[in-house]
Amino acid sequence: MSRKRQRGVAVITALLVVAVAASAATLMLAQQSAMLDQTMLVASRAQAEVYAQAGLDWARGVLLQDGKSTSTDNLAELWAQPIVGMPIERAVVAGDIADEQGRFNLNNVVLGNNARSEPDIQVLRRLLTLAGLAPELADAVVDWIDFDDDLASGAGAEGGYYLGLPRPYRAANAPMVQVDELYRVRGFDAAAVARLRPYVTAIRERTTINVNTAPDLVIAAMLDTTRDKAAEVLAERARKPFADKPGFSAAAGRAGLTATGEYDVKSSWFSARIQVAQDDVQLATEALMKRDAAARGATTIIWRRPLF
């Protein structure tokens, strides 16, 4: 092989070595950049979690202070005012507190001894009707919660129905933990749950309805009236929240209605939602809280779940 040809092979070989080395270096840099991005993402996620927990602690503190300073709960109080967006270093935190006792507790339809609570079932039937849903869905809710396998009606459903589905499962036969359980109850699809969700809650203790925070459909269902008639009572509430139960009863009377059932003007159960935007991380969490009047308003987180 001539010297000229040997020099050409050497040049080509050197160029190949340089190309391979450059490719390897590029790959290593890309991997290192990806690792750094991943590390930053993990760090941002961890920081967002810290802010979310701080947001829940804020909610607990607000409820604690409110419990010490007032004897009623209404929508004009500090706890009912949301945080729209608070900048904290590289994050923005938003949050709100809702009164869960302003909603109808689905678990109220079954008493602790497994007996049906007919007054509560009737309230749920009326609430379903007002929300544009079939009132018979209340029977499926009763069967989901009660401890036996006896059908409440032809519209109800026990284990035999659910085990016969293409993807079988069993009826809970226990109080609901979250409203999302409705997705598994006969007759409830996504549209039905979306319609009912603003007006119902799932608390594993029997609760009263706070007439100072309940929306119009819940008030209408409780008073066995129309949405328009309930609006007359809510107009009085907007001018001045009810100071006690007789105050609500009097307002209902002035609208030609009779207040019956279990209701109150204060609450022990609340939910909090916290949203955090930290760099490229979007995080939201929801928690159910109980404020204990016997413990000077101490507020406990019953459960917490991520929303996204």
Is it the case that residue 37 has pLDDT exceeding 70? no
| Spatial contact of 199 and 98, defined as CB atoms under 8 Å apart | no
Q: Residue 52 and residue 54: Cα distance in Å, rounded?
A: 5
Over residues 158-167, the mean pLDDT reads 96
CA–CA distance, 59 with 273 (Å, rounded to integer): 9
Concatenating the DSSP letter of every residue in the chain gives --HHHHHHHHHHHHHHHHHHHHHHHHHHHHHHHHHHHHHHHHHHHHHHHHHHHHHHHHHHHHHHHHHHH-SS--TTSGGGS-EEEEEETTEEEEEEEEEGGGSEEGGGGB-TTS-B-HHHHHHHHHHHHHTTS-TTHHHHHHHHHSSS---SSTT---HHHHHTSSS------S--SSGGGGGGSTT--HHHHHHHGGGEE--SS---EETTT--HHHHHHHHT--HHHHHHHHHHHHHS--SSHHHHHHHHHHTT----SSEES--SEEEEEEEEEETTEEEEEEEEEEEEGGGTTEEEEEEEEE--
Q: What is the pLDDT of residues 170-214, one digit of tens each?
A: 999 999 999 999 999 999 999 999 999 999 999 999 999 999 999
Place of tokens 């008030």: 219
Residue with tokens 């009097």: 250
Give the pLDDT mean for 144-159. 94
Tell me how far apart the alpha carbons of residues 11 and 100 are, in angstroms, rounded to a whole number. 78
Q: What is the reported pLDDT for 36?
A: 47
Domains defined along the chain, listed by start: 3-101+268-306 (3.30.1300.30), 106-198 (1.10.40.60)
Which tens digit of pLDDT belongs to each residue from 77-97?
Answer: 999 999 888 888 888 999 999
pLDDT tens-digit readout, 248-258: 999 999 999 99
- The rounded distance, in Å, linking the Cα atoms of 214 and 227 is 13
Q: Confidence class of residue 35 from pLDDT cuts 50, 70 and 90?
A: low
